[in-house]
């Protein structure tokens, strides 16, 4: 491998670039349509290689990719970029921050990003293109499907199942054994105490009320 190409140049890409530097991963440059359109030649010390079509100049057998696009609720940008590059034959490397704690029994897909201070406990399974963001906690036996984002400080208790393209917001807590279906959004600070249907959105206030009712025995 000659090195990696970073896709995107936004806020998430800044953090990812610093992880690449910490792990001494050689970076060939950055691909970003916005910078390319503005004729910017360098970004944070990296050469700007072009827009999304810049990859056509590279051999997938010789370079690998890093997805620098973050994942916001119901956004398809990160998923679309990953899927297009994979169809072209490129592979994405996994990135694990040196301060993260990942059990040896954890299974990781391709293009997984585990940020500073995150913890992933025994026998969890993290699929392709997932972000486990700063200080997030994924407890034992959790399953997180592809293209999902566990935001900073979120907690998944044991045996939680998260389907594809789910967003779990900053500081949210999902109690043990919960299933979150595809495309669901858990708002910041929300406590999730019941399964969520596909594309459901739940936010802090109502979820906390349900929790208090469950404790008191009210319906």
Mean pLDDT of the chain: 92
On whether the pTM is more than 0.85, the answer is yes
In which band, very low, low, confident or very high, does the pLDDT at 163 lie, cut at 50, 70 and 90?
Answer: very high
What structural domains and CATH numbers belong to the chain?
3-93 (3.40.50.20), 96-216 (2.160.10.10)
Write a three-state SS string for the chain. CCEEEEECCCHHHHHHHHHHHHCCCCEEEEECHHHHHCCCCEECCEEEEECHHHHHHCCCCCEEEEECCCCCCCCCHHHHHHHHHHHCCCCECCEECCCCEECCCCEECCCCEECCCCEECCCCEECCCCEECCCCEECCCCEECCCCEECCCCEECCCCEECCCCEECCCCEECCCCEECCCCEECCCCEECCCECCCCEECHHHHHHHHHHHHHCCC
For range 18-31, the mean pLDDT: 96
Q: Is 140 known to be catalytic?
A: yes
Instruction: Specify the pLDDT at position 1.
Output: 63
Instruction: Specify the pLDDT at position 74.
Output: 83
Share of the chain above pLDDT 90, in %: 89
* Catalytic residue (one of 12, 140, 147, 149): 140
For range 43-64, the mean pLDDT: 94
For range 28-45, the mean pLDDT: 96
């Amino acid at each position: 491998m000659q090195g990696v190409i970073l896709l995107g140049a936004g806020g998430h890409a800044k953090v990812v670039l610093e992880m690449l530097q910490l792990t001494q991963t050689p970076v060939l440059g950055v691909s970003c349509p916005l910078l390319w359109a503005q004729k910017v030649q360098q970004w944070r010390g990296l050469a700007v290689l072009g827009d999304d079509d810049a990859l056509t100049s590279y051999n997938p057998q010789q370079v690998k990719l890093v997805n620098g696009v973050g994942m916001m609720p119901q956004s398809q940008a990160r998923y679309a970029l990953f899927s297009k590059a994979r169809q072209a034959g490129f592979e994405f490397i996994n990135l694990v921050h040196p301060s993260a704690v990942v059990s040896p029994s954890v299974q990781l897909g391709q293009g997984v990003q585990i940020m500073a201070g995150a913890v992933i406990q025994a026998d969890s399974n993290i699929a392709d293109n997932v972000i486990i963001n700063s200080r997030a906690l994924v407890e034992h036996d959790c399953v997180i499907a592809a293209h999902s984002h566990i935001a900073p400080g979120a907690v998944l208790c044991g045996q939680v199942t998260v389907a594809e393209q789910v967003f779990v917001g900053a500081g949210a807590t999902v109690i043990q054994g919960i299933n979150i279906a595809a495309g669901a959004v858990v708002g910041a600070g929300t406590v999730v105490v019941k399964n969520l249907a596909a594309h459901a959105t739940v936010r802090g206030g109502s979820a906390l009320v349900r929790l208090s009712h469950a404790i008191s025995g009210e319906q």
